[in-house]
Structure 1
Amino acid sequence: MNALPGIVPYVNEPFTDFSQPENIRAMEAALSKVKAELGREYPLYIGPNTIVTDAKITSINPGNVSEVIGYVSKADQALAEQAMQAALQTFETWKRVPAHERAGYLFKAAALMRERKHEFSALMILEAGKNYVEADVDTAEAIDFMEFYAREMIRLSETNERQPLVKIPGEDNKLTYIPLGVGIVIPPWNFPLAICVGMTTAAIVSGNTVLLKPASTTPVIAHKFVALMREVGLPDGVINFVPGSGAEVGDYLTTHPKTRFISFTGSKEVGLRINRLAAETAPGQIWIKRVVAEMGGKDGVIVDETADLDAAAAAIVASAFGFQGQKCSAGSRAIVVEQVYEQVVEKVLALTAALRVGLPEQNGQVGPVIDETSYNRILAYIEIGKQEGTLLAGGGKVDGNGYYIQPTVFGDVSGKARIMQEEIFGPVLTIAKAKDWQEAIAIYNDTEFGLTGSYFSTSEERIAAALELVHCGNLYINRKCTGALVGVHPFGGFNMSGTDSKAGGYDYLLLFTQAKLTSRKS
């Protein structure tokens, strides 16, 4: 991105190199500090008020379920309405704050988060079950989102390059981007800092105020982010922190007549429900609500017979089992041309067997899944898989005081099988055989989702065809299908994967603004 006046050019936040002993020691020190703070109570933030409720969300460590991360106050409908009124009132002043000033809060917050990077990561290791690398990448992405969206808001406010207007004599015409109003931000638990930060800061830097309803399994890391924004001086009421039940608070706010937009990341089922509720016009509502949704995927890695098989196998395993497969971009399917099928399966199984399952704070490569509900659902899918394919690896629980499941691989799976069609969101990989590369692409496309995909080949002709034919929002050639970088790989998918909102891209802020044309005779 080009430099803006007075603004350093954007560069992605570097990842921590944990092969260096001093970085391991720094993370261990951060873990010790965070563990000393476990079990605290965390309030709601509504306008200028800090509110403690009797009802609490109890956040536990999925890797050690005896350990309570914290007790987070829980909003009800009355408090949600109070937060809505605070957001509405604050919007009237916040929307008039110049874009440079709004962006300044994000720059300050990014700088502070960078200073405390390991502390944020350590909290995610304990609350979300991420290992050191996965947590570090999550925090780096949160910093990236704040830096990127701050710069993008300044650019949108200062130039007409987004929509260059045709000039005519006698008129001065200008297109500006103004905020929408009050939005509901509902982030997921799997990227409890990065996506929470990205969704929230994109909305507020655009001039909106928000009600942030974090995931109930990871509310403490969301609270830590909101506390950081308060620390840098963000005005009261710009972010209102209202953890609560989706059925009670989520539905109430989604259907509220003053809600202008809902920004959601999560499951297809919940996303479709939000979209349906938002489409109904409530009494007193004077706009069509905007829904920005990222709803998951059934992503895959395609391998043809010309591919580098070692690289393909490594990408399959990394895509399938990174963060226990709990990524909407996870490569839960591998589709391999039959000519090299056995070779790829052998390499995948060798790499899978080498994965170490362990406690996240001890930096196990594969940690727990997020909670008991997910644990039971994934184990049920594994039983389905035993009927639909050949169990090649894993297939069961792992001992430990947490929700640990073996990295599991099924082979010889039909493209129509449930485990090839339905999002499992766990450490389960299904491998299908295709007669040729064209059939492999057809099997890949035979899904209701369309988020990420990878195609491994050395044939430029086939790669060119794949670039056109593989139907997903983010397609990668000869690399894994996870690991999108802010500003580098704008992220969002097709079909039931959501609204193709392209988080971390140059058009993302447009989803939180509306274009206003002004014309004046000169």
Structure 2
Amino acid sequence: MVKRLGEPVVRTAVAQAMKEMGRQFVLGRDIDEALKRAKKYESRGYTYSYDMLGEAARTDADARRYLRAYANAIESLAPACSHDEIRRNPGISVKLSALHARYEFGQKDRVMDELVPRALELARKARAANMGFNIDAEEADRLDISLDVIEAVLSDPSLAGWDGFGVVVQAFGKRAAHVLDWLYALSTKLDRRIMVRLVKGAYWDAEIKRAQVMGLKDFPVFTRKVNSDLSYIACARKLLAMTDRIYPQFATHNAHSVSAILELAQGRDCFEFQRLHGMGESLHDAIVSKGQARCRIYAPVGAHQDLLAYLVRRLLENGANSSFVNQIVDTRIQPEEIARDPFDTVEALGDSLSSKAIALPKAIYGEKRLNARGWDHTDPVEIDAIESARAPFKTRQWQGGPVLGCEVRSDRVTEVRNPAKPSDLVGYLTQASADDIEGAIATSQAGFEAWSSLPAEERAARIRRVGDLFEANAAELFTLATREAGKSLLDAVAEIREAVDFARYYPNEAIRNQAFGAGRGVIACISPWNFPLAIFAGQVLAALAAGNAVIAKPAGQTALIATRAVELMHEAGIPKDAVQLLPGSGSTVGAALTSDPRIAGVCFTGSTGTAQHINKVMAESMAPDAPLIAETGGLNAMIVDSTALPEQVVRDVLASSFQSAGQRCSALRMLYVQKDIADHLLEMLFGAMDELRVGDPWLLSTDVGPVIDEAARRGIEAHCDKFEREGRVLKRWPSPKRGSSCRRR
């Protein structure tokens, strides 16, 4: 018989376990409690660096709360700063992500205008107290923006002559040594002395996964731990040669690293060691008792609700097989193995510096399929290159229209304008006529015969070439996605990458499944405007890979990018009569294609009602076995219970709700929240929504661009007006006056 524990019992047990872990790894629930507990170690010769626990701020209210917490902590620590020599006094560590809700490269203007004054305010308080003030290291994608903030704060004349400003550098990052050189050059230029805490690094697995998901060229961190160990020693050697400007602080629990640093220092009293509270105690006690170096304890301070993320990080680090802390208590591992010289290990690896067990971002799908190239929107060099490449297309006007294997007969031309800026004429579109539709269907019969007779491998090679051409012409496609479809740069990058993925995935699948049969004939592909390249290309390339000819009808709002895509397909070697484009209305082009018996099947993405209508018309007009492949609308929901981390929930809700201005079938439509956490979560969500920037999608700083057209805007506004009259709108923003931007609720 299984006896279930009651909910109160389970919660009590979990809470007690959290408290026990908190006592182990967190010095106190608040700064006063931490100061009392710190006296035990201070009497043994340790000093402290205090860190106020908490995740990155999601709202401005959170950021201001963290700012107050840091300021209060500095004031509470000030009486303990009794030494004239700053390195003998306690210090405080500050996370920049806690001081601003939008601490990211794309919001650099706000970061410099709003975060820098907050960090400077704290630095001035720390200077007045004569304590150390350390800027903690965070994710690799924030490194560039963090250096901008550090330079701006340290350059302020009010900090001149103060030796307490500190920076944390992560040795597992491949740029660590360059950051040290930059910090030394900055301190020299400003004639300052600074502190640098050298750590191995945190959230290594997240850095690896981010690079793979984004399709970056390489990883920002080393993929073998031994390389991080070696980098740590190399950076330590560099720091010990910079002591005229830098006071090194070596944070490590690794006995080999400690021994190497002591050997490199040659008895000089120009640095200190650091350890985390609750870890590495015996190692650092040995250092202090022998008088080999000063030691400081990094001491987290926080209440119960702030503990979870920090405790998970400690568990991950301590539990890793390669962790020194884990190995030292494992009696199965010999001491010689634990203290192995990383230089010997690296030399034994030869040229194999990267782990073969971790696929490079381009190779995550294996040898037969290349991952789509990514563009790092947090890299200023990459962003400058994108801006330079997009510049020639910023005012270009494209000519779109039917792309046929026969003569185009229509002469009805309409204008295409930017949904964010109606004054921006993106180009002109020729609408397909009845003659064009007939010509395309007739021509496609011969196109099918020729295309389907090619070996599957040859068709696959040409389709893969389409993906290569999409990447080669990415700047133009980015621009079209932004100016015609209103997509932000991040959404445009995702659009191109998904289209490229389709160009590499479907050919492989066609070859793998070619034994199941040949192409059916001519397939009509009808695609939506919300993914004007990705879904458009996915439909077309899948049908082509299987040996079919295609007549594509793009959405009326996004036919220019479809025109360019078909032109690139032809450039890749796909015959003009094998893939043709018919822009036009659903009532003209769509109705003709879905009711013509010469069409062998239909691929459709759009509303459920339209799909049902197409299904009915096909049943009346086409062969009984003509397939309808329909991807139609749905409702995406998120369910949040009390175990979820609120900051992560809010981040994911914002991404799912507001990317692409919410115009995707996967956009979050319903949020279900456990009642006892709902008020706090909604308060955080509403505050985070206030931090979003609505406007011109051309700008990297824009989070929410326009909805696709004026009709869509009016529909959304009417929907919200209705619910507001019923008192059911919880949060609403004013809509921009220009363009079809609409802030969703």
Please report the TM-score for the alignment, with normalisation by the length of structure 2.
Answer: 0.50
Task: Return the alpha-carbon distance in structure 1 between the equivalents of residues 586 and 425 of structure 2.
Answer: 22
State the 1:332 CA deviation: 1.7
Of all paired residues, the percent bearing the same amino acid is 33
State the 1:11 CA deviation: 4.0
Task: State which of 432, 444, 447 in structure 2 corresponds to 1:87.
Answer: 444
State the 1:57 CA deviation: 3.7
Q: Show the 5 A alignment for 1:226-237.
A: 226-237=566-577
2:556 matches 1:216: yes
Residue deviations 1:93-121 (CA, integer Å, cap 9, x gap):
22111100111111111112212222211
2:732 matches 1:359: no
Check whether the contact 1:367–1:404 (CA below 8 A) recurs between aligned residues. yes
Equivalent residue number for residue 153 of structure 1: 510
Q: Show the 5 A alignment for 1:244-283.
A: 244-280=584-620, 282=621
Task: Return the alpha-carbon distance in structure 2 between the equivalents of residues 138 and 301 of structure 1.
Answer: 24
One-letter identity of the residue aligned with 1:218: T
Secondary structure at 1:28's aligned position in 2? helix
Residue deviations 1:93-152 (CA, integer Å, cap 9, x gap):
221111001111111111122122222112101111111100001000000000111111
Task: Return the alpha-carbon distance in structure 2 between the equivalents of residues 14 and 230 of structure 1.
Answer: 22
State the 1:256 CA deviation: 0.5
Equivalent residue number for residue 22 of structure 1: 381
Task: Return the alpha-carbon distance in structure 1 between the equivalents of residues 553 and 438 of structure 2.
Answer: 13
Equivalent residue number for residue 400 of structure 2: 42
Task: Return the alpha-carbon distance in structure 2 between the equivalents of residues 398 and 316 of structure 1.
Answer: 22
Task: Return the alpha-carbon distance in structure 2 between the equivalents of residues 292 and 299 of structure 1.
Answer: 21
Check whether the contact 2:482–2:697 (CA below 8 A) recurs between aligned residues. yes
Task: Return the alpha-carbon distance in structure 1 between the equivalents of residues 569 and 674 of structure 2.
Answer: 50
Task: State which of 495, 498, 502 in structure 2 corresponds to 1:141.
Answer: 498
Check whether the contact 1:125–1:132 (CA below 8 A) recurs between aligned residues. yes
2:429 matches 1:72: yes
Residue deviations 1:405-450 (CA, integer Å, cap 9, x gap):
22xxxxxxxxxxxxxxxxxxxx33xxxxxxxxxxxxxxxxxxxxxx
State the 1:310 CA deviation: 1.6
2:452 matches 1:114: no
Check whether the contact 1:146–1:201 (CA below 8 A) recurs between aligned residues. yes
Secondary structure at 1:362's aligned position in 2? coil
Secondary structure at 2:415's aligned position in 1? strand
Q: Show the 5 A alignment for 1:343-354.
A: 343-354=680-691
One-letter identity of the residue aligned with 2:524: I
Task: Return the alpha-carbon distance in structure 2 between the equivalents of residues 254 and 119 of structure 1.
Answer: 32
Equivalent residue number for residue 207 of structure 1: 547
Q: Show the 5 A alignment for 1:102-501.
A: 102-157=459-514, 175-280=515-620, 282=621, 285-363=622-700, 364-400=702-738, 402-406=739-743, 427-428=744-745
- For structure 2, the 5+ residue unaligned runs are 1-358, 360-365
State the 1:52 CA deviation: 6.0
Check whether the contact 2:399–2:560 (CA below 8 A) recurs between aligned residues. no
Secondary structure at 1:185's aligned position in 2? strand
Residue deviations 1:56-96 (CA, integer Å, cap 9, x gap):
24221001011121112111222111100111121122211
One-letter identity of the residue aligned with 1:32: A
Secondary structure at 2:729's aligned position in 1? strand
Secondary structure at 1:124's aligned position in 2? helix
Check whether the contact 1:43–1:52 (CA below 8 A) recurs between aligned residues. no
Task: Return the alpha-carbon distance in structure 1 between the equivalents of residues 438 and 642 of structure 2.
Answer: 59
State the 1:396 CA deviation: 3.8
Task: Return the alpha-carbon distance in structure 1 between the equivalents of residues 610 and 536 of structure 2.
Answer: 17
Task: Return the alpha-carbon distance in structure 2 between the equivalents of residues 396 and 14 of structure 1.
Answer: 37
Check whether the contact 1:183–1:211 (CA below 8 A) recurs between aligned residues. yes
Task: Return the alpha-carbon distance in structure 2 between the equivalents of residues 74 and 105 of structure 1.
Answer: 28
State the 1:305 CA deviation: 1.7
Equivalent residue number for residue 443 of structure 1: none
Task: Return the alpha-carbon distance in structure 1 between the equivalents of residues 727 and 612 of structure 2.
Answer: 30
Task: Return the alpha-carbon distance in structure 1 between the equivalents of residues 400 and 660 of structure 2.
Answer: 27
Secondary structure at 2:368's aligned position in 1? coil
One-letter identity of the residue aligned with 2:541: T
Check whether the contact 1:358–1:366 (CA below 8 A) recurs between aligned residues. yes
Distance 1:50 1:344, change over 3 A: farther
Check whether the contact 2:477–2:561 (CA below 8 A) recurs between aligned residues. yes
Task: Return the alpha-carbon distance in structure 1 between the equivalents of residues 671 and 373 of structure 2.
Answer: 30
Distance 1:52 1:43, change over 3 A: farther
Equivalent residue number for residue 472 of structure 1: none
Secondary structure at 1:302's aligned position in 2? strand
Equivalent residue number for residue 424 of structure 1: none
Instruction: Report how many residues are paired.
Output: 380
Task: Return the alpha-carbon distance in structure 1 between the equivalents of residues 641 and 371 of structure 2.
Answer: 33
Residue deviations 1:171-220 (CA, integer Å, cap 9, x gap):
xxxx5321111111011101101111110000011100111111110001
State the 1:54 CA deviation: 1.6
One-letter identity of the residue aligned with 1:177: G
2:410 matches 1:53: yes
Task: Return the alpha-carbon distance in structure 1 between the equivalents of residues 491 and 394 of structure 2.
Answer: 19
One-letter identity of the residue aligned with 2:435: A
Task: Return the alpha-carbon distance in structure 1 between the equivalents of residues 502 and 613 of structure 2.
Answer: 27
Equivalent residue number for residue 188 of structure 2: none
Task: Return the alpha-carbon distance in structure 1 between the equivalents of residues 376 and 542 of structure 2.
Answer: 29
Secondary structure at 1:263's aligned position in 2? strand
Structure (1/2) with the larger strand percentage: 1
State the 1:25 CA deviation: 1.8
Secondary structure at 1:16's aligned position in 2? coil
Task: Return the alpha-carbon distance in structure 1 between the equivalents of residues 497 and 670 of structure 2.
Answer: 27
Higher relative contact order (CA 8 A, sep 6+): 1
Task: Return the alpha-carbon distance in structure 2 between the equivalents of residues 231 and 286 of structure 1.
Answer: 33
State the 1:362 CA deviation: 1.6
Check whether the contact 2:463–2:574 (CA below 8 A) recurs between aligned residues. no
State the 1:35 CA deviation: 2.5
Residue deviations 1:35-69 (CA, integer Å, cap 9, x gap):
2421x42342221x352632124221001011121
State the 1:295 CA deviation: 1.2
Check whether the contact 1:279–1:288 (CA below 8 A) recurs between aligned residues. no
Structure (1/2) with the larger helix percentage: 2
Structure (1 or 2) with the larger CA radius of gyration: 2
Distance 1:218 1:286, change over 3 A: closer
Check whether the contact 2:606–2:632 (CA below 8 A) recurs between aligned residues. yes
Check whether the contact 1:12–1:144 (CA below 8 A) recurs between aligned residues. yes
Distance 1:290 1:388, change over 3 A: farther
Secondary structure at 1:32's aligned position in 2? helix
Over the aligned positions, Cα root-mean-square deviation in angstroms equals 1.8
Task: Return the alpha-carbon distance in structure 2 between the equivalents of residues 221 and 271 of structure 1.
Answer: 24
Task: Return the alpha-carbon distance in structure 1 between the equivalents of residues 710 and 534 of structure 2.
Answer: 24
- For structure 1, the 5+ residue unaligned runs are 2-6, 158-174, 407-426, 429-522
Residue deviations 1:325-348 (CA, integer Å, cap 9, x gap):
001100021111111111110111
